[in-house]
Structure 1
């Protein structure tokens, strides 16, 4: 069965974006440290998680090793749209969960207005590589119990407040994970992989 992996960047205080939810890596309010070693690690280990234009810039044409499907919430998708990308991941099956959008902005993006848990359970039964949950916190909160693996790109910074890893509405539900892999980059960012305990 395919796994649902929440592959996400987080600060030391557990925030995945600033209070307004905008992309922390680009724009006038960017605060995320995107160093050369960070990008190189993504290129080598997680090339499918790079947006299409970045893949072109790095000359990446091969399929990724981890994921063939990406899912995200409406607000996270909007960050890409605001940057001029109606489909940031054309190399993956790309689903956007939204109850407000009625028409896809790109033929390669599937809109899902139904229950996220139900849809993810359906996706897990289909053949293929794992499923990448790329954000945001509200969708991650709704899928909290369905997440099989966490890969946290932990940045060496704090921001005080922002969008938490699992949003603000996730019920209290202690879930235990085992650290299965770790890579600490010279710049201080740590890639930490956790698998859910069965």
Structure 2
């Protein structure tokens, strides 16, 4: 639906855009950075897809190396949990996405960077407030525990499904049982076998 000036703008979407294995894991059992692992190889076609469609989801150093600049195409805000954020910290990055508004959801972390907002409570309410603001969509980068806690507010799933099975690790959603329905709206198969699957929340969910 197109927005008509003078009317209330549509709510921003919370989009969970993440790489996953066939058996639904977004990282190995150690929870470390899965990028470039054997089960998540960074192949030229994957890089081309990201640069073309979601260049803002690349960390700052990668954008610099590739000569990418400017605002995001789809997202202007990134949300992540403590474990995901600590992967950047281990690499010496207190803000891996300086080109985006950056929120980290954790009840134990303290701010490592003035440009990173730490959300220590009421995650659902904070997301609802963000959705009501003007701007582009919100990117949920992970991890599985935060994704599970925000599941009622996730409007779209974009899964880079790799043709691999690892048996155990960090699940796409980590938490107690809760059922939500999503409908497939798009599928792109890359040369490497990665399928980019897009689902929108079903109207009755």
On whether the aligned pair clears a TM of 0.5, the verdict is yes
What corresponds to 2:84 in structure 1? Answer: 76
Does 1:187 find its partner at 2:192? yes
For structure 2, the 5+ residue unaligned runs are 1-10
The one-character-per-residue Cα deviations of 1:21-60 (angstroms, maximum 9, x if unpaired) are: 111115xx66421101101110010001000011111111
Query: Aligned residue for 1:166?
Result: 173
- Cross-structure match for 2:70: 62
Contact preservation (8 Å) 2:162, 2:194:
yes
The alignment status of 1:90 with 2:106, answered yes or no, reads: no
The 4+ residue runs of structure 1 with deviation greater than 6 A are none
Matched, 1:142 2:149: yes
Could you tell me which residue of structure 2 aligns to residue 16 of structure 1?
Answer: 26
Query: How far, CA to CA, are the matches of 1:135 and 1:121 in structure 2?
Result: 18
**Helix, strand or coil for the counterpart of 2:79?**
strand
Radius of gyration: which is bigger? Answer: 2
Q: Deviations over 1:105-124 (max 9, x none)?
A: 11211111111111101111
The normalised TM-score by structure 2 is 0.91
Unaligned runs of 5+ in 1: none
How many residues in Structure 1 have an aligned counterpart in Structure 2?
193
Does the 8 Å contact 1:16/1:162 carry over to 2? yes
1:44 aligns with 2:52: yes
**How large is the RMSD of aligned CA atoms in angstroms?**
1.1
Q: How far apart are 1:75 and its partner, in Å?
A: 0.8
